[in-house]
Structure 1
Amino acid sequence: MSSTPVLNDDNWSKLLEYVAESYSEVTLSRGFHFYKQQMVLSMNIAAELRKVHAVVEEFGEKCQVAIDLNQLKASSCTCPVKTSCKHIAAAFMELADRQGYPASQIMNAKMALKRVAAQSANVSTLEQLPGMTVEGWHKFMEHYTYHLKPNYDQWNFVELLRGQFANLKRTPITFSETDQFYFEFHQRLFILRKIVEQNAQAGVTFFTAATVYHLVDELMEWINPTISLLNGLISSERFQQTTAYFRTQMSVESPKKLHHFSVFTAFLASHPMLEESQIASEIVAFEVMQEAELSFSLCAGRAYLYLMHGRKALSWETLASHAAFKEAPTLLFRPFLDELKQKQDWQEMILWLRRMCSFYRGKRHLEIDVYVFYWKLVIAELPEAEADMWQSLEELLPTTYRIIEDLYYERRQWKRWIEMQIAQGYDPFTHRVHVLQPIEKESPELLLPYYHQAVEHYIRLKNRHDYKAAVRLLKRLEKVYKKMKQPERWEAFFTRFVSRFSRLRALQEELKKGKLLE
């Protein structure tokens, strides 16, 4: 950087304005190439006169550049173009770099000017934020982030938006504690909306879908503890403005991508001291809006409010009445089940879980695990509901095969669990030793058919490797009989076993190696 400053912020703005008016993008791009390739061989700055002389090389030819900072239009070059050429552009960039200004802004002069204008406008706008509505906040955020362009890496775009909003913290804004919460909440909602809109325009891939769901999860994890810190301080006005924002977003939401619906229900569930009158007012607002909108997300939001208001039958009827209900994703039901959990209305939860059963047919195990989680909550309070759970899971076979198997084990229904292992062709070697230990301790007799069948299987394979496996199982079987305190049954079985397979020399040798035969 030159020790002689010939540029200040005001001069810099004027230089950007001149470049934006006088240079094409192609010329600036070529000039930037010359600058990056260090083709500006020399530069002399006459600080008092505010004039600059530079030498720029191109294909061995040296072009003389003269810059007059007092009268930029008078700047010239010895090349055939003479003015507004790539050589002068390169010299501008070299001068900017030496004076401590970003040379890249010369190449992107128009964008840099817009950013500067936005920043100066934003400074005055920041003081007005506390008096703005939520709608005004979103208009401000749109303007504040307009220069950030989406790209293929959506998470990178999210981080750019977050970084831009982090800059707001450098300027004190006289928000109340409640407004501070709502303003940060709407920054997060703004980012979610931007990603949802980008997906709608460009189509959804695995990576873009993952970004949206990650944002929703983050939002829902952030809401509850953050609202609780408000110590009951709520703003009826901000609440109404926020729910109005949600209704607008839900009115255009895809029936299978209920992102704003999920955050809306988490917001309601977490909001402290939500009064009956507020819920009733929201129901009216949803009913009025849905008369003109056919959005399933709006319908689901209204149904959730009915459930919060204690109108349980109407809640389900509202959902079921919508044409898109049969194709609804399973994530739709979680807020409703959480509300019933919060109210400890277990009988109603049984009804909902039974009605929901068909929606989980053919779904991923992760989704069905959530379904089973709520069944477990019910059974912990109403053990008699266990039969309903098994009926639901059986209706979802074969998808729920593994889940039923795990539940049998978890609930120590050993006989049914072992029958499922045998039906699938498994043997004791399928499991780690600790898996069978509790069965051996509590109901060792149930392991007998499992071990006996496996021993027979390995003997039929008739090779030494499998004979060794059969011997290992026989030793474990002997332990089971001893655990049952029935050694005589073991002796009787083993005597018959040795007699049956006395002609299999390799097996007899392995039995001796295993010290089962002398």
Structure 2
Amino acid sequence: MKGVLSMLGRELSKEFVLGAGEQIKHLLSPQDEHDRNVVKKGLILYRQGSIYNVSTTSHTVSAKVQDVTSVQVELDLDDFVMSTCTCPAPSICRHRIAAFLYVYASVDRVGTFVDLWKEEKPIDDVLKHVHKASSLLKPEKEYEDSSLASWIAFFDREFESWYDQLSSPNQLFQSLFHHYYSALKKKAPKSPEMKQFFIVQASVTVFIKILQLINETKPTDYMLQHIIYPYIDQLSDNVAIAISEMKRYALPFALDPLLVDSVERFRELLFTSKHYQYERSNLYQLLWIELLRRDKFINIEREWLEEHLEDEKNHEPSFAVEMETALMHMDFLQSRDEHIFETMKRLTPAALPFTFHWVEDIMKKKNWKRMSGWMSYMMDNSTEYINSDLPFEEKRQVVRYMMQLIKQYSKATNDEKLFERACRNMLPLSYAEYHDFLLDKEQYRTWIELQTLLGFSIEEMDTYVLRDIEKSEPGVLLPLYVKTVKHEISMKTRENYKMAVRYLKRMKSQYKKLKREEVWENYILQLSDEHKRLRAFQEELKKGKLIHD
């Protein structure tokens, strides 16, 4: 919702919106019961999130309002009396008020408008005086720069304030990200390195708040996937960007106590909710790799996790898997890879993608010696993953990414055979990568075997690829054409006979390039004789000038 409102704020003049508010103040009186009900019901519709399909010009607004039935509202902010609605009301209705409040939210709090209307105070003048008065006040320090506890207390106060002012529960997660999160970032410390670490902590806090709200509101799967997930994804990206910015500066000693306290704070990602397990684990790993990679921090976390793991296994819901993964992450940070591989054996195949963050980190550091162990691990465990009961699309995405990692390693170590072996081992999920590899290396015979193995008919193969093969390596496609011709004839329809003749012509061309015309002549005569009872096929052979009377 915030994204739409900010867009409205850019397209509509604030003066027009406030001016329309002044007009409404004169058109509707808080002393009149009917007018009070119109504003009250309009406010309810707005808070229910009933306004949608909003579009604007410089001074007009078009919107749909969902009431008992859907109505179309056209607002004229320059002359509000000229506003219209498709409902039967003869004058200003609750729908026009709801649409106006939606627009008003792009310039100020809706509660401010309602309060000023009730008090019959000039909207524009009051706002000006409020801004002038606030500019004279010296703001109090809202948090201590060197205290993470102070930051978190500030985040919580801001959250309570945001929640109290929340206008529509239907826009809960959108408002949390666009209003609350944006407000936190605006209040970051001035020094560049502290500012970026503040943004990291603010992003982690909003991530945790989203998880807490999911637990409370129990959104649908559609909401989780299409509405909430993009915010989760963006928060993780923002953390990575902020950390990247931090690395441009020498980190101050003042950051050390904040990092110590971050050990416990970042741990909350493991336990706050069962939702977004992969994303929670990924963010936790990123924070440890980039910010807490010190033995003293690792030892603190390892000790806590080991102490609580067994007890956690008896809880419901259990976060034992998250703790196991976190312990493996501590192993990774201390290069205890063999211990990770042993632990992974106890987990389900679905845990494989959780290792990718570690592989990426090793790859980024170009530690090819250490990487070789991980390549062997992925190759050895890929078959179990491919044969698991996980959804096909999920497995395909994982294999696609795994193939990218293997390809990058193969290129860096000049071990092309490893990539080719991985392509074969991970079929059919690695079909696209193997397909491209074979064509790039001009291994056409193997490419044809691949198509045949996976059951592709010649009609399903790329025509341009087939032509390139015919030019580059004449004769390679002949066995495939023979098989296809046999299949088409067996269908015994005129259309299939025509298709058979089409492929026979290609065969004739290939034999000619190979200068083996006598082989072709023997083949076509034998084929014609074998099917001499199929009159329609004989006719198509003659039309195609493949045989003569």
CA distance in 1, matches of 2:444, 2:140: 68
Is the 8 Å Cα contact of residues 146 and 257 (structure 2) preserved in structure 1? Answer: no
Matched, 1:128 2:148: no
| AA of the residue aligned to 1:361 | N
Larger of the two Rg values belongs to structure: 1
Deviation at 1:466, TM superposition (A): 0.9
SS of alignment partner, residue 308 of structure 2: coil
Please show how residues 21-420 of structure 1 align to structure 2 within 5 Å: 32-35=36-39, 95-96=117-118, 99-100=121-122, 124=139, 127-128=142-143, 130-133=145-148, 134-147=151-164, 157-167=173-183, 174-201=189-216, 202=218, 205-211=221-227, 213-230=229-246, 231-234=248-251, 235-252=255-272, 254=274, 257-270=277-290, 278-294=293-309, 295-317=320-342, 319-320=343-344, 325-326=347-348, 328-342=350-364, 343-344=367-368, 345-357=370-382, 358-362=384-388, 363=390, 364-382=395-413, 386=417, 390=421, 394=425, 408=438, 412-420=442-450
Is the 8 Å Cα contact of residues 253 and 297 (structure 1) preserved in structure 2? Answer: no
Is the 8 Å Cα contact of residues 204 and 266 (structure 2) preserved in structure 1? Answer: no
Against the structure 1 CA distance between its residues 222 and 481, is the aligned structure 2 distance closer, same or farther, given a 3 Å change threshold? farther
Against the structure 1 CA distance between its residues 377 and 388, is the aligned structure 2 distance closer, same or farther, given a 3 Å change threshold? closer
Q: Which range moves more in the overlay, 131-140 or 278-287?
A: 131-140
Against the structure 1 CA distance between its residues 32 and 509, is the aligned structure 2 distance closer, same or farther, given a 3 Å change threshold? farther
CA distance in 1, matches of 2:241, 2:449: 46
SS of alignment partner, residue 163 of structure 2: coil
Is the 8 Å Cα contact of residues 501 and 544 (structure 2) preserved in structure 1? Answer: yes
Q: Give the unaligned 5+ runs of structure 2.
A: 1-20, 43-113, 125-133, 310-319
Deviations 1:420-478 (A, max 9, x none): 43345433211221122343244333211111110111111121111111121112222
Against the structure 1 CA distance between its residues 239 and 137, is the aligned structure 2 distance closer, same or farther, given a 3 Å change threshold? farther
Deviations 1:112-163 (A, max 9, x none): xxxxxxx99x995654353542433432343342226698867x62344322
Against the structure 1 CA distance between its residues 391 and 181, is the aligned structure 2 distance closer, same or farther, given a 3 Å change threshold? closer
CA distance in 1, matches of 2:407, 2:121: 69
CA distance in 2, matches of 1:467, 1:302: 65
Deviations 1:303-348 (A, max 9, x none): 223323323223434x448x6x336544311112112322233311
Please show how residues 467-486 of structure 1 align to structure 2 within 5 Å: 467-486=497-516
| AA of the residue aligned to 1:96 | K
Against the structure 1 CA distance between its residues 192 and 165, is the aligned structure 2 distance closer, same or farther, given a 3 Å change threshold? closer
Against the structure 1 CA distance between its residues 337 and 35, is the aligned structure 2 distance closer, same or farther, given a 3 Å change threshold? closer
Q: Which residue of 2 aligns with 1:510?
A: 540
Deviation at 1:208, TM superposition (A): 0.4
Against the structure 1 CA distance between its residues 98 and 192, is the aligned structure 2 distance closer, same or farther, given a 3 Å change threshold? same
Deviations 1:148-193 (A, max 9, x none): 6698867x623443223434677x7653111211222233222222
| AA of the residue aligned to 1:33 | N
Q: Which range moves more in the overlay, 341-350 or 325-334?
A: 325-334
Q: TM-score, normalised by structure 2?
A: 0.63
Deviations 1:31-70 (A, max 9, x none): 74254689xxxxxxxxxxxxxxxxxxxxxxxxxxxxxxxx
CA distance in 1, matches of 2:510, 2:375: 41
CA distance in 1, matches of 2:22, 2:451: 80
Against the structure 1 CA distance between its residues 196 and 179, is the aligned structure 2 distance closer, same or farther, given a 3 Å change threshold? same
CA distance in 1, matches of 2:118, 2:169: 32
Is the 8 Å Cα contact of residues 181 and 203 (structure 2) preserved in structure 1? Answer: no
Is the 8 Å Cα contact of residues 188 and 195 (structure 2) preserved in structure 1? Answer: no
Is the 8 Å Cα contact of residues 403 and 422 (structure 2) preserved in structure 1? Answer: no
Is the 8 Å Cα contact of residues 410 and 418 (structure 2) preserved in structure 1? Answer: no
| AA of the residue aligned to 1:139 | D
Q: Which range moves more in the overlay, 452-461 or 128-137?
A: 128-137
Is the 8 Å Cα contact of residues 459 and 467 (structure 1) preserved in structure 2? Answer: yes
Against the structure 1 CA distance between its residues 443 and 32, is the aligned structure 2 distance closer, same or farther, given a 3 Å change threshold? farther
Q: Give the unaligned 5+ runs of structure 1.
A: 7-14, 16-27, 39-91, 103-118
CA distance in 1, matches of 2:399, 2:341: 20
Against the structure 1 CA distance between its residues 283 and 100, is the aligned structure 2 distance closer, same or farther, given a 3 Å change threshold? same
Deviation at 1:389, TM superposition (A): 7.0
